[in-house]
Amino acid sequence: MEGEAHSEKCEVRMKVKVEFDGFAQFEISLSPIGKIRLDGLRLEWRMPSEYTRLLNSGYRSLKDTGYLPSRWKRHLTLDFPYFWVGDEDGGVIFFAIPQDGWMNKDPSRQVEIKHGEMETVVRINMVDKPFEMTDEIARRINYKFGLMATPVRPLVEGYRHWRISSNLEREGTNFNIWCITNKWDCYPEWEITPSLRNMRRKGIRSTWYLSYALASPNSPEFIYMGDQWEKDPPCAPYGKQSWKLMKIGYCPVKGYRDFFLWRLAQSMKDPALDGLYFDNTFLTACRREDHGHGYIGIDGKRKSDYPIEDFRAWLLRIYNFVKERDRSSPIVMHISGKTAYLPSYSFFDAIVDGELGFEEIKKSGGSYYWLSLDKFRAEFMGRVWGYPVIFLPEFPVSQNPKFWNSDKCTPIVRHLIGLCLVHDTLFWACRASHKVYLGVWKALNRFSLDDGDEFIPYWERDTGIKLIPKDDNLVVSAYVKRKEHKALLVIFNNTDKERTVKVKLSPHKFFGEGVEIRDMEEDRRLGEGCEFDLLIKKRDFRLVMVEKK
């Protein structure tokens, strides 16, 4: 869509591109007649406050992510900036593609949010510092930004059945997520061992390692064509500095996209291959004129932009190719701390997140005790984005392998699992004793946890489940099988004290007075009735099934 407006001194043109997943990109250009002074340019929208409780700040550190404060601001014209505002059911992402023309008195206020009692006002200040504009300067300015509503799609079918590991020998695994046997790092050809070849025969899903932002400069094709594919400015070599395991940044130009799909198609003729795992899924900036990227800045120098549309077109081709081969093959991407980066990677089935907070983990003895419930909801919850989130723990196993491979790590690991379960978030069983993960998987399998089960989250009102004492860090979520008259309760103690909790169920919402209570991890009967007491260790959880007798 295109529109324009005219006055005696200036013409304003806007282009809007909206795609089927809700991606909307806007471009504003100005054409002054003679010399004008531009006093201000801003975008503003309003949302009801009841639907804007949460903020994802866009900072990988998760700084400010969580509850939306009454006032918030940030600098936008750095890197590929974005943020999200919404609640536990969805929201709106804003992203900007930095270019010359943002003129600000205080760049830290390029975005300002005022969260009031009735409404939330979001303001994007592109210009709040007046400057003189001529036609020559205006031709070098293009204000480009976008919006995207979330969730972008329904959650992928079958995700609650996934028992994710990266080691086929781990008991209970039905999804080998990290097949990293590439011929060259990030290259779409793999060396397939006999054990990997047998995965699909055993009903084990798998995703095979790739990247769409990095490539090995030592693959044959890159040796000959790399000078045409590499982005500018170039990336310093990244990863292990060996002939096989070195990678550099490249640009999604048509020649590289065509090669990648051709090589992938050759590899995937092998029936052992299933889905794909994309690592390092960030946008790469490029200024190469022969790629059609970059622009001439106000200072006359060529500068980089972010070819988001090229990346999206390429990833859609990959998605269609994989799904035409086998619609059930999963496509997973990994970009820890950046789930709200969604406009650049909409065409996936699940997101791996969690490999972050290194300093906080170190300070808290290797745990995720620092990760608050509101921060978790604003970053790691699939229902917000439209993709199941798979939490990849960053337990410091290399520093103390004996601890992490023993029962001593159980309290720390169970705390993270509890965080995941009360938010309907998946966890990657790794970097700790597998025994801890396996016990929980067995409990979930006893209940036959399924996509069709109704999820009743702890933050909703009038759920029919009450905990006594009342405490913001004592919470309960439920997975309910209405037709079978049973529910799995996840009662989570996110405090530093052991707690005795009374659970009270509404008989109107949970199958009447005659219900049986069962501990699903210990697989034993606890009693019957709509009220019962539980002892929960600090930073731990209990899995309890209630079922109509």
Q: Which residues contact 200 (CB under 8 A, 6 or more apart)?
A: 206, 271, 272, 274
| Terminal alpha carbon distance of the chain | 60
Which residue carries 């010399």 as its tokens? Answer: 35
Rg for the chain, CA atoms, rounded: 26
- Nearest-angstrom CA–CA distance, 125 and 77: 11
Evaluate the CA torsion angle 377, 383, 384, 389 in order and state its sign.
positive
pTM of the model: 0.95
Q: Residue 260 has which token pair?
A: 């990648």
Distance from C-alpha of 143 to C-alpha of 536, rounded to nearest angstrom? 54
Confidence tier at 236 by pLDDT (50, 70, 90) = low
Kind of pairing, strands 275-279 and 331-334? parallel
396/391 Cα distance (integer angstroms):
15
pLDDT digits (tens, 9 = 90+) for 85-136: 999 999 999 999 877 889 999 999 999 999 999 999 999 999 999 989 888 8
Where is pLDDT greater, at 345 or 391?
391
Q: How far apart are CA 209 and CA 184, in angstroms?
A: 11
- DSSP class of residue 398 equals G
Residue 499 has pLDDT above 80, yes or no: yes
**Mean pLDDT of all residues in 365-370:** 92
Q: If you search the block for the tokens 């005696």, which residue do you land on?
A: 8
Q: In what order do the strands lie in the sheet with 119-127?
A: 41-48, 119-127, 111-115, 71-74
pLDDT at residue 243 is higher than 50: no
Q: Please give the domain boundaries of the chain with CATH numbers for all domains.
A: 2-150 (2.60.40), 181-353 (3.20.20.80), 455-548 (2.60.40.1180)
The alpha carbon of 139 is separated from its chain's Cα centroid by a whole number of angstroms, namely 36
Closest CA to 350 of 150, 454, 188, 207: 207
> How crowded is the C-beta side of 55, counted as CA atoms within 13 Å?
24
What letter represents residue 446's amino acid?
Answer: R
What letter would DSSP give residue 538?
T
| The predicted structure's pLDDT at residue 237 | 57
- Say whether 26 sits in a helix, a strand or coil: strand
Q: How far apart are CA 397 and CA 417, in angstroms?
A: 17
Residues 430/165, Cβ–Cβ less than 8 Å = yes
Looking only at the bridges linking them, the beta strands covering 540-548 and 486-493 are antiparallel
Per residue in 254-294, pLDDT (tens digit) is 999 999 999 999 999 999 999 999 998 878 888 999 999 99
Pairing of strands 66-67, 90-96: unpaired
Residue 275 is encoded by which pair of tokens?
């889905």
Which is more confident, 305 or 243?
305
**Contact 465/531 with Cβ under 8 angstroms?**
no
Q: What is the overall mean pLDDT for the chain? A: 92
Helix/strand/coil percent split, the chain, to 5: 25, 35, 45
- Mean pLDDT computed over 312-316: 91
Q: What is the DSSP string of 120-153?
A: EEEEEEEE-S-EEE-HHHHTT--EEEEEEEE--S
Whether residue 346 is predicted with pLDDT greater than 60 in this model: the reply is yes
What are the C-alpha distances in Å from 263 to residues 189, 190, 220, 273? Answer: 7, 11, 12, 14
Find the largest Cα–Cα distance for the chain: 83
Band of residue 247 on the pLDDT scale cut at 50, 70, 90: low
Distance between CA atoms of 501 and 516, rounded to whole angstroms?
18
Residues 396-422: tens digit of each pLDDT: 887 889 999 999 999 999 999 999 999
What is the DSSP track for 228-279? HHB-SSPPPPBS--SSSS-BEEB---HHHHHHHHHHHHHHTTSTT--EEEEE
Q: Do residues 126 and 42 lie in contact, with contact meaning Cβ atoms separated by under 8 Å?
A: yes
- The candidate with the shortest Cα–Cα distance to 368, out of 329, 409, 400, 326, is 409
- Close Cβ partners of 271 (under 8 Å, ≥ 6 residues apart): 200
What CA–CA distance (Å, rounded) separates 474 from 465? Answer: 12
* Mode of pairing for the β-strands spanning 426-427 and 389-391: parallel
